[in-house]
Amino acid sequence: MEEGLLAPAHGAVATAAVHAKGQQHPIKLYLLVWGWLFVLSTCSYLVDYFGLHGYLRWSLILLFMVLKAGLIVAVFMHMAWERLALAYAILLPPVAVLVFVSIMVLESEYTHFLRVLFFAGPS
């Protein structure tokens, strides 16, 4: 009977010992990510250095920004090793915000077009 009482305690001690050690990732992974972050940051600065303008400039800057944020979230915040449900809970709201902002931008362009078309008159 005592053996049945000790079994859960023994399992809890073994589980605590496993969690106390923790998960370690190789340093090579972190160095690789730091290298990619350096390359992406350099590309961001080169966009300004070469004097790109307009939609190309902002598209490249936003692309490099999203790639850097993705690397940081995936590796340094350990999102790559989390459950898929948790990753969806954290990553889907910003994606939804981007979709809604895109919709608003498209509608604003359409509204501006209609105002110019109907209220500007012949120029």
pLDDT in tens, 84-111: 888 788 888 988 999 999 999 888 888 8
- The percent of residues in the chain predicted with pLDDT above 70, rounded, is 79
Distance from chain centroid for Cα 64: 11
The answer to pTM > 0.75 is no
Domain ranges of the chain: 25-120
Q: Within 13 A of 117's CA, how many CA atoms are on the CB side?
A: 6
The two three-digit tokens of residue 20, written as one number: 């106390």
